[in-house]
Amino acid sequence: MTTGSLLILAGDGIGPEVMAEVRKIIDWYGAKRDLSFDVSEGLVGGCSYDAHGTPLTDETMARAQEVDAVLLGAVGGPAYDNLDFSVKPERGLLRLRKEMDLYSNLRPAQCFDALADFSSLKKDVVAGLDIMIVRELTSGIYFGEPRGIIKEGNERVGINTQRYTESEIARVARSAFELARRRGNKVCSMEKANVMESGILWRDVVTEVHAAEYADVELSHMYADAGAMQLCRWPKQFDVIVTDNLFGDLLSDAAAMLTGSLGMLPSASLGAPMENGRPKALYEPVHGSAPDIAGQGKANPIACVLSFAMALRYSFDLGAEADRLEAAVEKVLADGVRTADLLGQEGVTPVSTSQMGDAIVAALDASL
């Protein structure tokens, strides 16, 4: 029986390499857990531009709207730096997010015990860290109008507009509160209500949604700059953080480095439920296309693997299987298996991208 449909968009750089390891795990679930997926593939980013003259074709966009989940590798690279802005590889990813209305971006920051020494913070500060940043993804300053570069007198002026509606804030707040109920039942909302009117509205709407629908969840508020400081001081005070598009971009990148390597971090972008009740969803590793190591077998596939684990949990309601996959990754790391980005400790076993995927599959076998 088919569990659901997946569209794989491996993309550019190391994207195809890390996605190949996810395919091994998808095949394992079909063979060992009777969880088969209807998998199709497409192009996005630079490879799509090379083939079709656009970073995302209308046909691929339509397929993304139809499937239960999209798995994306990475887009971009220096070969495309001089393209017109409208056809840069990143525009394909932005189109997917916008047209699928993926307003809730989930970026976990989890520090596995075996990797606590890789963090720039002291081990006791990050060991056992497990927080989730929920970033509003389809509005705010990245999309607000007016925007652009204009001429005023003898100089140029750059304009971007921070804009949020009540409904845009309310729906991402609900996403954060629902997530908190599955975790530590605690949400911290971050904005800049002290200097920004959009921040005042953000705080008001989050408070209203909390009082009306989620009074059982603990809610606190914090200015985003203070939140950045607290993430570096004692990140384990947080469970779920909800914030806007710009601050979420900054705070989630800061939280990412607490864990020691971008090669470890997955993400999910979720939208409104489809007719089958599943949210529209796109899953992708936080890291970029890393063209400097593409094709060398050095890439760490774990972020992409953990992105698939998020798909199991949030798109297919297979929480126990997501736990199984995450535990397999943790076992491999505890056994000292390391890709190039995680070397530097004594007694570890260096492996290639493909060998890391094989090790995770072997750990899955051992879990049965």
Q: Whole-angstrom Cα distance, residue 273 to residue 271?
A: 7
Question: What's residue 231's pLDDT?
Answer: 94
Partners of residue 229 on adjacent β-strands: none
What's the pLDDT at 119?
82
CA separation for the pair 288, 77 (Å, rounded): 9
Q: Mean pLDDT over residues 125-142, rounded?
A: 93
Q: For tokens 């395919």, what's the residue?
A: 23
Flag whether pLDDT at 263 surpasses 90: no
Residues in a beta bridge with 157: 150
Q: Collapsing DSSP states into helix, strand and coil, what is residue 268?
A: strand
Residue 122 per-residue DSSP state = -
Owner of token pair 């949604």: 209
Q: Three-state DSSP class for 247?
A: helix
Q: Is the pLDDT of residue 260 over 90?
A: no
- Contact indicator for 89, 46 with CB cutoff of 8 Å: yes
For 286-329, how does the pLDDT look when each residue is reduced to its tens digit (9 = 90+)? 899 999 999 999 999 999 999 999 999 999 999 999 999 999 99
Strand intervals (E) in 162-307: 186-191, 218-223, 240-243, 266-273, 279-285
Selection from 76, 73, 141, 135 nearest residue 307 by Cα:
73
Q: Using CA atoms, how far apart are residues 126 and 121, in angstroms rounded to an integer?
A: 7
- Whole-model pTM: value is 0.92
Residue, of 69 and 263, whose pLDDT is higher: 69
133 pLDDT above the threshold of 90 = yes
**What's the CA gap between 71 and 60, in Å, rounded?**
13
Asked, as a colleague might, if the bond just before 146 is cis with ω within 30 of 0, I would say yes
Instruction: Please give the pLDDT value at position 278.
Output: 86
Mean pLDDT, rounded, for 267-293: 92
As a whole-number percent, the residues of the chain with pLDDT over 90 amount to: 84
What whole-number distance in Å separates Cα of residue 81 and Cα of residue 85?
A: 9
- Range 54-78 average pLDDT: 97
Residue positions annotated with a catalytic role? 142, 192, 225, 249, 253
Architecture of domain 1-110+264-368: 3-Layer(aba) Sandwich (3.40)
What's the pLDDT score for residue 124? 87
Report pLDDT for 1: 65
pLDDT band at 112 (very low <50, low <70, confident <90, very high): confident
DSSP 71: E
Q: What is the pLDDT of residue 253?
A: 86
The average confidence (pLDDT) of the chain is 94
Whether the CB-CB separation of 286 and 107 falls below 8 Å is answered with yes
Between the alpha carbon of residue 1 and those of residues 30, 63, 186, 251, 364, the distances in Å are: 10, 21, 38, 41, 21
Mean pLDDT (whole number) for 38-63: 98
Q: Are residues 248 and 176 in contact, defined by beta-carbon separation less than 8 angstroms?
A: no
Q: Where are the domains of the chain?
A: 1-110+264-368, 130-258
pLDDT in tens, 201-248: 999 999 999 999 999 999 999 999 999 999 999 999 999 999 999 999
Tokens of 3: 């569990």
Judge whether 1-110+264-368 and 130-258 match in fold.
Answer: yes
The third-level CATH classification (topology) of the domain covering 130-258 is Isopropylmalate Dehydrogenase (3.40.718)
Tell me the percentage of the chain whose pLDDT exceeds 70: 99
